[in-house]
Amino acid sequence: MQAAPSTIKKRNRVEGSGMAKKYSSLILMTLPGVLYLFINNYLPMLGTFIAFKNINYTKGIFHSDWVGFKNFEFLFKSQDAFIITRNTLLYNGTFIIVNNLIIALLVALLLNEIKNRFARNLYQSIMLLPFLISFSIVGYIVLAFFSIEHGFINKVIFPFLHIQPIEWYLESKYWPYILVIVNTWKYVGYSSLIYFAAMIGINQEYYEAARMDGANRWLQMTKITLPLIRPVVIVVVLILIGRIFYADFGMFFQVPLNTGILFSTTNVIDTYVYRALLVTGDIGMSSAAGLYQSTVGFVLVIIANMLVRKWDKESALF
């Protein structure tokens, strides 16, 4: 005999209240994170209309003149539009491939092979240390290596190899390699820990069964470890693709010491907008740049996720 609708509704309310009481502590623990996410990520989205206005502080933000897409023109009509877009995409693409898909993954695999817990924790701490150093300090560390007059490379390495000193801060052609090395040194430890955390969650019975079948370390890594952490790798790459139009401002501004002669290889969208904002003081222009970066990143994530779904539906982000 089927229960009456009122009885079913009452039962659902009782079950719902019971679930709420059961998981009340977990819900309470998530509130600070949800509140932070709302304030930091969603609330500022209300200010996207600033990108379409000519902000006049005497009129106020809401009463300033509406200019449509005029604020976006400075990114596309300037003579540096191609350079900053090319630099941003090529640097971030290189960082994703070299740092996150090759070096960080390799480091995580090597950490996973270390069985001594003390040694493994020591290596993790050493590799994570550069991530905790601000780019203001990193800029001076790089200067200590590449200074024209007192740099370690020009004063110690090159004389030993009988090579003439190089004026690093006057030659833009060297900086794509320098910035990639700096980014790898600073972030590879953090990126590798994400993959390593996924590796230590793999059931050890898979490895025991593989060893019983005669599989060596290489086969265990390629046939067990890498396939099982593939979803984590895909999620990390998708997130990075979403920020491919965002550059690390600290690295591109502090490490080259804001040297104008290096702008052809160190100027990216974020540093260009910052310098333009210093000159014009137009926050509408900077808001337009931020909205453009976010929109393009969102579209790229959707496209990349669609491609992943066609290849492996279970590994897709959504």
d(CA 236, CA 105): 11
Beta carbons of 259 and 275 less than 8 angstroms apart = no
pLDDT at 273: 85
Beta carbons of 54 and 64 less than 8 angstroms apart = yes
Domain spanning 53-200+230-311: CATH 3.40.50.300:
no
d(CA 173, CA 157): 20
Domain map (residue ranges) of the chain: 53-200+230-311
The string of DSSP codes covering 187-243 is HHHHHHHHHHHHHTTS-HHHHHHHHHTT--HHHHIIIIIHHHHHHHHHHHHHHHHHT
Q: Which two tokens stand for residue 294?
A: 């976010």
Beta carbons of 189 and 129 less than 8 angstroms apart = yes
Q: Which two tokens stand for residue 153?
A: 């490379």
* Cα dist from 316 to 26, 98, 309, whole Å: 27, 22, 5
Per-residue pLDDT for the chain (318 aa), expressed as one digit of tens each?
A: 445 555 555 555 655 566 667 777 888 888 998 999 899 888 888 888 888 888 887 888 888 888 888 888 877 887 788 898 899 999 999 999 999 889 999 999 999 888 888 898 898 889 989 999 999 999 999 999 999 888 999 999 999 988 899 999 999 999 999 999 999 999 999 999 899 989 988 888 988 898 888 888 888 988 899 999 988 998 898 889 888 888 889 999 999 998 889 999 999 988 988 888 887 777 888 888 888 888 888 888 888 888 888 887 777 777
